[in-house]
Amino acid sequence: MTIWKNSWRRGLLVGASVSAICLIAATAGHANASVPAPSGELTAALSELDAAWQAAPLGFTKALFVEAPATGYGSYEPRRNTSFHPGETIVVYAEPVGYDYRHGDDGYRFELAVDFEILTPTGQVLASQADFAKVGSASREKLREFQTSLSFRFEGLQAGDYILLARFRDTLGTKAGELRMPFSVVPAAQ
């Protein structure tokens, strides 16, 4: 019986000591961690990227028709063609770059307003909508890998060739950029 009591006390003492060590370790984790800094070359390249980003107009690294809205940056299924049936949903994947950031106490944010027009090949505007969508993000760091998926469904377009013009306007700055994406409407298979 004496052995049981002593083992129990030692177990309790060891358990209390382990808990205290875990508490000290958890508290220490909130202090500044020791993280190796990037190389001087990488730091210089990142500074150059930041300067080039700020000086660049709003542009796009990628824009294409896709099968469905993307699930993340670079996570999309390209559409095999640019032909759509009447009333079919048209999905555009785009990766804008060069947008302006606003810095605040909680980090950086950016916001883009998107307008669209449907044009004939000769430039006649068939439909348009300003502020069709607003896209952006907020983060503690400047996000440079951003994507958006825009979905359109146009009723009443006859078989023929068209251009989808999507104009992105930086609401935190003065930059703007546009996509011109030719597509066709083909009769539904019967």
pLDDT in tens, 99-128: 999 999 989 999 999 999 999 999 999 999
Domain boundaries of the chain, sorted by first residue: 57-185
Neighbour tally for 98: CB within 10 Å: 19
Report, as an integer, the average pLDDT of 75-79. 98
* Segments in 30-86 forming alpha helices (H): 40-55
- State the pLDDT at residue 167: 98
Task: List, as own/partner pairs, every contact residues 69-73 make where C-beta atoms lie below 8 angstroms and the sequence separation is at least 24, other chains included.
Answer: 69/93, 69/149, 69/151, 70/147, 70/149, 72/147, 73/145, 73/146, 73/147
Predicted confidence at residue 5, as pLDDT, reads 45
Q: What is the pLDDT of residue 33?
A: 80
Confidence class for position 189, pLDDT limits 50, 70, 90: confident
Query: What pLDDT score does 97 carry?
Result: 97
Question: Does the structure show a pLDDT above 70 at 1?
Answer: no
What is the rounded distance in angstroms from the CA atom of residue 70 to the CA atom of residue 64? 11
159's tokens: 């078989």
DSSP three-state, residue 24: helix
Checking 55-58 for CB contacts under 8 A at 24+ apart, the result is 56/97, 56/98, 57/98, 57/175, 57/177, 58/96, 58/97, 58/98, 58/99, 58/112, 58/168, 58/170, 58/175, 58/176, 58/177
Q: Provide the pLDDT for residue 145.
A: 95
Under the banding of pLDDT at 50, 70 and 90, the label for residue 9 is very low
Percent of the chain with pLDDT over 90: 76
Give which of 183, 148, 168, 167 is closest to 69, Cα–Cα. 148
pLDDT for 30:
53
Average pLDDT estimate for 139-150 = 95
Query: What is the identity of the amino acid at 147?
Result: Q
Q: What is the pLDDT of residues 153-172, one digit of tens each?
A: 998 899 999 999 999 999 99
pLDDT at site 45: 94
Average predicted confidence (pLDDT) for the chain: 87
pTM: 0.79
For 16-58, how does the pLDDT look when each residue is reduced to its tens digit (9 = 90+)? Answer: 444 444 444 444 445 678 889 999 999 999 999 999 999 999 9
Fold (CATH) for 57-185: Immunoglobulin-like (2.60.40)
